[in-house]
Amino acid sequence: MNETVDMSVDFAGLELANPVFTASGTCGYADELADFMDMNALGGFITKSITRKPRKGNPTPRIVETDSGMLNAIGWANIGLERFIEEKLGILGSMSAAVFVNVAGASIGDYVSVVERLAGEEAITGFELNVSCPNVGQGGISFGTDAGQVAKVTAAVKKVLDSRFRGNDKDGRKVLMVKLSPCVTDISVTARAAVEAGADALSLINTFTAMVIDIEEREPVLANRTGGLSGPAIKPIAVYLVNKVYNEVAKKNGIPILGMGGIKTASDAIEFVVAGASAVAIGTWNFVEPGCAVKIVEGIKKYCADHNIKEIKELVGALKAG
């Protein structure tokens, strides 16, 4: 019965086997989850943030749990572009899932140089611009909450990609996705800025800036003082914001949304799809139940079969009008 459901997704011109991704920063660089799941069961995979130079990241404590969620302040700890190319591209190239590299930087030049270096790599399907990380001093959320900056960094990266693939060479063209911060008054403003500057896809939401206080010490638990709130606690807000961006920006521009924020079950994922996401990403729950992405793919399939939905695409934005 399940076999009759077409789970494939058209995502900015990519044909994905299914709509389930693992989200940046929760699934390592490549095959760290392979002990727990078949990586080829994924529709898409997003690497942790890659910066031009290696970064140690923030001091500890870097995480703290909250009711139904967690705060993290890792600070873009990563091995840097060169080691990433040397050690991880080979493994990424062997994966059947679409591979997005999450790119981060303190300046537009940083983003550009990472993308320039990776744009010709076959192993990579596209880029996710991290303009929404709340845990770094420069770049990150300071870009993502300013629509003008979002437009600038998106346009600069788009220019790099366009200059490499003039004409109709669609095969080698990389998909440009911009990851939006929810820490703004109106997320449609930044979404529109990204789309007008050339984004092929939008991913949302990144985490919410948040704080947990140790009341004995009367200081924040995290060494970075603040961190990004993720997990089931943020899911209903994420669903709302995906629906808002879908209605106000994405639908009319034909731009797909990768929806994320607190997904732990297939029903959670389906909410995002109904709200307007063409695909979904699993984040925090990879920590609790590594391998849950596979169960979520199966669960979505079962829901479709049970509801006589032949193609998952039918469900995208299927929310009834109010």
Partner 1 sequence: MTDNGAGSTKGVYEAVVCSNKQIGRSFYRLGLEFSSVGGKAFVEARPGQFAQLDLAAAPLPSAEAIPEGLADAARRGIILRRPFSFCDVVRKDRKTQVEILYCVVGPASLRMKGLSGGDKVSVIGPLGRGFSVAEKKRHALLVAGGMGAGPLVYLAKVLTGESSKMEVVVFAGARTREELPFRRPLDEISRQLGFSLGEFAEYGVKSQVATDDGTAGYEGLVTDCFSKWLGEQNLPARDTIVYACGPEAMLAQVAEIAKDRNIDCEVSMERRMACGIGLCQSCVVECKVEDSNESVYKLCCEDGPVFDSREVVFSS
Minimum separation from the CB atom of position 250 to partner 1 (A): 29
Size of the chain in residues: 322
DSSP 228-266: EEESGGGHHHHHHHHHHHIIIIIHHHT--EEEESS--SH
Task: Pick from 17, 149, 265, 287 the residue near partner 1 by CB under 8 A.
Answer: 287
Spatial separation of the C-alpha atoms in residues 187 and 250, rounded to whole Å: 12
Minimum separation from the CB atom of position 304 to partner 1 (A): 27
Spatial separation of the C-alpha atoms in residues 220 and 212, rounded to whole Å: 6
Minimum separation from the CB atom of position 266 to partner 1 (A): 18
Considering beta carbons, is residue 48 or 174 the nearer one to partner 1? 48
Q: Identity (one letter) of the amino acid at 100?
A: F
Spatial separation of the C-alpha atoms in residues 89 and 124, rounded to whole Å: 8
Q: Per CB under 8 A, which region of 86-94, 242-250, 269-277, 282-290 contacts partner 1?
A: 282-290
CA 290 to chain centre: 17
| Per-residue CA distances from 103 to 24, 129, 153, 285 (Å) | 10, 5, 11, 22
Rule CB under 8 A: say whether 213 interacts with partner 1. Answer: no
φ/ψ of residue 41, rounded to 5: -80, -10
Rule CB under 8 A: say whether 288 interacts with partner 1. Answer: yes
Q: Of 46-75, which residues contact partner 1 (CB under 8 A)?
A: 48, 56-57, 60-65, 67-70, 72, 74
Spatial separation of the C-alpha atoms in residues 265 and 288, rounded to whole Å: 12
Rule CB under 8 A: say whether 198 interacts with partner 1. Answer: no
Asked if 229 contacts 237 with a C-beta cutoff of 8 angstroms, the reply is: no
Minimum separation from the CB atom of position 221 to partner 1 (A): 9
Task: Pick from 125, 206, 209, 286 the residue near partner 1 by CB under 8 A.
Answer: 286
Token digits for 106? 């303190």
Spatial separation of the C-alpha atoms in residues 218 and 255, rounded to whole Å: 46
Residues 81-120, mask of contacts with partner 1 (x by CB under 8 A): ----------------------------------------
- Of the candidates 322, 311, 320, 230, the one whose C-alpha atom is nearest the C-alpha of residue 275 is 320
Rule CB under 8 A: say whether 77 interacts with partner 1. Answer: yes
Instruction: Specify the 3-state DSSP secondary structure of 58.
Output: coil
Minimum separation from the CB atom of position 48 to partner 1 (A): 7
Q: Of 12-51, which residues contact partner 1 (CB under 8 A)?
A: 25-28, 32-33, 35-36, 48
CA 264 to chain centre: 15
Whether 183 is catalytic: no
Considering beta carbons, is residue 196 or 289 the nearer one to partner 1? 289
Q: Identity (one letter) of the amino acid at 45?
A: F
Considering beta carbons, is residue 38 or 311 the nearer one to partner 1? 38
Minimum separation from the CB atom of position 219 to partner 1 (A): 15
Rule CB under 8 A: say whether 228 interacts with partner 1. Answer: no
Rule CB under 8 A: say whether 284 interacts with partner 1. Answer: yes
Rule CB under 8 A: say whether 80 interacts with partner 1. Answer: no
Q: How many CB atoms lie within 10 A of CB 318?
A: 13
What residues act catalytically?
Answer: 133
Applying CB under 8 A, which residues contact partner 1?
25-28, 32-33, 35-36, 48, 56-57, 60-65, 67-70, 72, 74, 77, 231-232, 284, 286-291
